[in-house]
């Protein structure tokens, strides 16, 4: 089926910030920054909904994504999906780079449905996930040289956790497979196994391998809360990091095709609180961590 939609708004799925696996501008974030983050989220969600729309051709998806980009930069007509973020960027003197990079990821989604190896997947995350963390850090005025690398690791990990949790749904609904082909081949698994009601032992082995690699990314990013100047943002990221670690460990044991991997509300709150508490306990000693990071040593 092919449908002509005139604007990105018509492609909206209805999904919002509260439907995400991880907090989006929770009340830990200072009110003066929440609007900038939520406008970014809404713009990105509009682009993501275009890329995931099953009634649009790849060519039409690219046209709508280009329209969002032009509206954001002023190169084309205004768009209600871009206007709030455009205003926030202008007010803060920030460039549209991070949002435009996310649109590049959605263009990939419109044209690409398979990934050969881990490096290809990380390249996708460079555009689909890392700009999110970079934007939030820039909004808070954090030093990119100090925080971007750790943020990139966490953001890539969050993206891959989402991919693994949704691997069956992505395959069934979109014929999109983020699980690298070489990992499937190493364990004797196939793409078709993603369409089953329950993962085979071979596919479970693939998911465990990818979850272990993702835990390595989370380990690399664990230092980020201690590098951030803004306390409230530090606590938000600490909560997200802890939630991601728990989800990733869950993927080592549970089958995302047949079992729930997502947090329940109570577990979500307790896990996030654990991350916040441990970060607060370390806060008096963060100067040592920052100095070690500047010296290029592992804190």
Looking at residue 17, what is its pLDDT?
45
Q: Is residue 16 part of a domain?
A: no
Same domain, 206 and 249: yes
Give the total residue count for the chain: 299
What CATH number is given to the structural domain containing 160? Answer: 1.10.600.10
Model confidence, pTM = 0.86
Same domain, 67 and 204: no
Looking at residue 182, what is its pLDDT?
98
Same domain, 161 and 276: yes
Task: State which of 95, 122, 152 marks the end of a domain.
Answer: 95
Looking at residue 2, what is its pLDDT?
39
Please tell me the total count of domains within the chain: 2
Q: CA-CA distance, 257 to 269, in Å (whole number)?
A: 25
Angle in degrees, CA 235, 26, 283, rounded to 5: 10
Same domain, 184 and 235: yes
Looking at residue 37, what is its pLDDT?
94
Q: CA-CA distance, 190 to 170, in Å (whole number)?
A: 15
Same domain, 274 and 166: yes
Same domain, 64 and 123: no
Domain membership of residue 277 as a residue range: 112-299
Same domain, 77 and 38: yes
* Of 56, 72, 214, nearest in space to 129 by CA: 214
Task: State which of 95, 121, 142 marks the end of a domain.
Answer: 95
Same domain, 40 and 140: no
Same domain, 120 and 233: yes
pLDDT digits (tens), the chain, 299 positions: 334 456 666 666 556 445 455 556 677 789 999 999 999 999 999 999 999 999 999 999 999 999 999 999 999 999 999 999 999 999 999 999 999 999 999 999 999 999 999 999 999 999 999 999 999 999 999 999 999 999 999 999 999 999 999 999 999 999 999 999 999 999 999 999 999 999 999 999 999 999 999 999 999 999 999 999 999 899 989 989 988 999 999 999 999 999 987 666 555 555 556 666 776 666 665 665 666 666 665 54
């Amino acid at each position: 089926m092919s449908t002509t939609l005139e604007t990105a708004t018509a492609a909206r799925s209805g999904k919002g910030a509260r439907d995400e696996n991880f907090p989006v501008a929770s009340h830990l974030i200072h009110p003066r920054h929440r609007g900038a983050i939520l406008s970014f989220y809404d713009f990105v969600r509009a682009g993501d909904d275009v890329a995931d729309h099953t009634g649009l051709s790849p060519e039409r998806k690219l046209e709508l994504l280009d329209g969002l980009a032009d509206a954001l930069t002023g190169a084309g007509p205004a768009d209600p999906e871009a206007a709030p973020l455009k205003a926030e960027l202008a007010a803060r003197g920030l460039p549209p780079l991070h949002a435009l990079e996310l649109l590049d990821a959605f263009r990939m989604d419109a044209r690409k449905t398979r990934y050969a190896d881990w490096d290809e997947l990380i390249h996708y995350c460079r555009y689909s996930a890392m700009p999110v963390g970079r934007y939030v850090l820039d909004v808070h005025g954090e030093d990119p040289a100090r925080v971007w690398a750790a943020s990139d690791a966490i953001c890539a990990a969050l993206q891959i956790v989402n991919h693994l949790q949704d691997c069956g749904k992505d395959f069934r609904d979109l014929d999109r497979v983020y699980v690298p082909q070489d990992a499937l081949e190493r364990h004797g698994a196939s793409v078709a196994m993603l369409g089953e009601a329950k993962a085979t032992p071979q596919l479970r082995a693939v998911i465990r391998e990818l979850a272990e690699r993702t835990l390595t990314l989370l380990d690399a990013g664990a230092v980020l809360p201690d590098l951030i100047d803004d306390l409230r943002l530090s606590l938000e990221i600490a909560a997200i990091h802890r939630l991601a670690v728990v989800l990733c460990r869950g993927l080592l044991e549970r089958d995302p095709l047949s079992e729930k991997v997502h947090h329940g509300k109570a577990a979500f709150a307790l896990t996030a609180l654990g991350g916040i508490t441990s970060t607060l306990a370390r806060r008096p000693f963060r100067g040592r961590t920052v100095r070690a990071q500047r010296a290029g040593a592992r804190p």
